[in-house]
Structure 1
């Protein structure tokens, strides 16, 4: 079965138009993602300042230009016209002898409020955290907010004459991660930052992006544990259930450690914002278990999620770092470490009687899937058995859309990136008795590179009638599972052998019918 040519063929989601590199000893091309962006080489973590401008998506990210380990923090840069084919650009904001460059945001200063461009050529403005070094004007380790700008659509960046533009008094070693947006009702810019170890979110406003005035604090919202850091805050509005008259505000944060799956993860709060203060709604009691809070993702590998700015209309798209601080330095990929999640469209929907942030793959991805061959299975009924799907249903990169009707089974689901003998595979399992959805990567391939590479990630998902719908996106080294309108997401890294490319369905202790299962081949496999 040949692949459609309606869309350009995918190559690994990294640069193909920059310098070529010779194969390296110990390289792991079998785990180079096809759908997810990864740098050609070296270390990458949090996404920074993604935005859309003149038909191009720009992605910046924490990057070490000289080694596949954390350090020498700079802003890497990649561009795309479809959020699937990425081209790695030159380092945008490099570290130097006076400071490292931590996370931040880029905005298009359309009305040239900063005065750094012109009405005809408005600037791109990057607000970012500087971490000063011993030979700088500030004490070593001090963190403050700096500014750089571009007048050539992000090709080159100039530091602002005043550095930094925002500090705490006294100076702080944990004041970082500015997120910036235009607040139209007030006619000013708003910045969210964190004092990560407090933990607290601090809000500021500015008319010109260079002079900032304090607005308010948010936190700790009853959710504090020993050693917990809050990072990467983003504040943005979304209509509830598509009704623009029922707009609410979402505050998204990175939590490390103590996330729902252990280590680092992304949490969110829904509430209101009046231009000064964010007020959350429906908070659980202080000291509640992490499961009582709303998590963007219940897997281990989705951190530092951040929205794109400058998108047309009312669209809202987010991207995150697909890794976990528990083991990020030990993941067995070479010559790179780190990759991004698939860009996801965000919507606020009423689920189980309350507003929940829901994710679904961006429209560019759904168009890709629609243009590729799909294999359909309907009415597959299993009775206390495993069933290996036919030989032609195999691939390292797949999209699976499926429904299960559990008539009497205790547990049912599928294994993906599996071997034909079933010894290796990543399980997506629904437990009817416990009403739990689980991704089990205990037999997914290489797992012993870190004792903190957790095996099972579980979310409560009631399905009293036994009907479960799942959307599963499988790449060469990852799995993303979505259910319940995208209000439940589980994202996990996996490191299977290249030959583990089969799909196996199963039903335990009873009958399960697999309905409308559609498997789309995305890697060219027959």
Structure 2
């Protein structure tokens, strides 16, 4: 019987989510033979979906499940192009390195697929890296390092990461450790990623980005993530930033465990990642059923010089433009000490805008509005801070894992990097999420929201002066889902591509 799957209350319409069950950390992200593989944590297993464009997804059977060595926790996947592992009879194949977890013990293991990821076998000699005596030892990210001609693994180890190298994905050598006296140590570091990026598009100036997520803690009021920018020689990472400088990845509360896709073709040239839209303070307490958790929109990464600092920037991938439906372009609007309600309603849309001002206290946007609800975002000139305010965004009785209130209804602030009186915003709003890219993606806020379906208005506001909103374009987003049968990621049922 065809059910109302993907049409339930709060169901995201252009973000990847599982048909049912609890989705968390992204895993096994790799591009091979025209397909993006997106695995994800699914209660100690790897759920699995594939896509040709990072928009429309086909759910496949589980990629990995538990065995006598334990549950299959987070990890990564690569293409073994040269069959260095000897597992593919001289042909390219997919290899996944993941954490086995059993009785409190975490170790790294190998799985492989010779049929484009449709079936996976576990390596007979697992684990390939036994636990070295650490309580927290998980989430391996593997990459090929051309300069040394070896595979590199970065794996989380409490509040630091360890680097290993291997000629064949099987035999691993410990190389170094990074983390002491570096960045935030508010909680355990998880789901590391490591990749090179050209600075300002200059291929002769390449730096390495080391990214780690930080588990639930009181200091940062939930889980969060940070990045380091520096040098990597295949064995050791050197941070270019002062050790006490913290670079947060996202200033909202719901962008975690972000990892990039491996093996995107050279002719594409992008480094693309996405994250789990939730927080380990309240991982599965959302008012959604039968599904819990979703992925952010995919984002292309770059390093850009702002003033004297090199910073990580995130931009929505260009493919998202294909989901645009009805579009509106508004004339220039000046807002002075008041609110303008736009002639627009919707719950899944994209917004682009530029704002300029001279003297002002605060200005911004009011998303998903009604008489009683609004998610507010903008800029406070008095404090030179960007902000996202979900104190009146709708349902907020979210509980933490102890059953206590999770302080969901909050305002989030971030110091703005740019000083010019000109601000750009690229916003993506869906049924229960909002993702904000300020100043060409230099600062990003990702947040879950649970407004009433009737809260569908959109407003502009300014206080303490006037703001001029230009280049204001709104695109309704078409759905990537069609009505489908009830199923789970462990079945052969596929999502059909469609526009809702």
Q: Do they superpose with TM above 0.5?
A: yes
Measure how far apart 1:365 and its partner are: 0.9
1:56-102 CA deviation, whole Å, 9 max, x = no partner?
111001003xxxxxxxx100000111111111111110124541010
1:375 aligns with 328
1:236 aligns with 195
Aligned residues between the structures: 472
Rounded Cα–Cα distance in structure 2 between residues aligned with 1:271 and 1:463: 22
Is contact 1:395–1:523 with CA below 8 Å preserved after alignment? no
Is contact 2:387–2:414 with CA below 8 Å preserved after alignment? yes
Aligned pair in 2 of structure 1 residues 259, 470: CA closer, same or farther (>3 Å)? farther
2:208 aligns with 249
Structure 2 residue 379 is matched with structure 1 residue 430: yes
Rounded Cα–Cα distance in structure 1 between residues aligned with 2:313 and 2:184: 25
Structure 2 residue 93 is matched with structure 1 residue 123: yes
1:170-224 CA deviation, whole Å, 9 max, x = no partner?
3x3311111000000111100001112xx22100000000000011000133345
1:486 aligns with 441
Rounded Cα–Cα distance in structure 2 between residues aligned with 1:304 and 1:312: 23
1:386-411 CA deviation, whole Å, 9 max, x = no partner?
11101xx1111111111112233311
> Which of residues 426, 429, 434 is equivalent to 1:471?
426
1:153 aligns with 116
2:485 aligns with none
TM-score by length of 1: 0.86
The within-5 A match list for 1:93-492 is 93-96=64-67, 98-119=69-90, 121-132=91-102, 140-170=103-133, 172-196=134-158, 199-225=159-185, 228-258=187-217, 262-285=221-244, 292-313=245-266, 314-369=269-324, 372-390=325-343, 393-419=344-370, 421=371, 423-450=372-399, 451-452=405-406, 453-461=408-416, 464-492=419-447
Asked which structure has the greater RCO (Cα within 8 Å, sep 6+), the reply is 2
Rounded Cα–Cα distance in structure 1 between residues aligned with 2:430 and 2:67: 36
Rounded Cα–Cα distance in structure 2 between residues aligned with 1:153 and 1:33: 28
Rounded Cα–Cα distance in structure 2 between residues aligned with 1:374 and 1:28: 23
Is contact 2:9–2:288 with CA below 8 Å preserved after alignment? no
Is contact 1:379–1:514 with CA below 8 Å preserved after alignment? yes
Is contact 2:256–2:278 with CA below 8 Å preserved after alignment? yes
Is contact 1:432–1:463 with CA below 8 Å preserved after alignment? no
Rounded Cα–Cα distance in structure 2 between residues aligned with 1:35 and 1:97: 37
Q: What secondary structure is seen at the aligned counterpart in 1 of 2:321?
A: helix
1:322-368 CA deviation, whole Å, 9 max, x = no partner?
10001112111111111001110011111232111111011211343
Structure 2 residue 47 is matched with structure 1 residue 58: no
1:68 aligns with none
Is contact 1:252–1:267 with CA below 8 Å preserved after alignment? yes
| Structure 1 segments unaligned to the other structure (5+ residues) | 1-19, 65-72, 133-139, 286-291
> Superposition RMSD on alpha carbons, in Å?
1.9
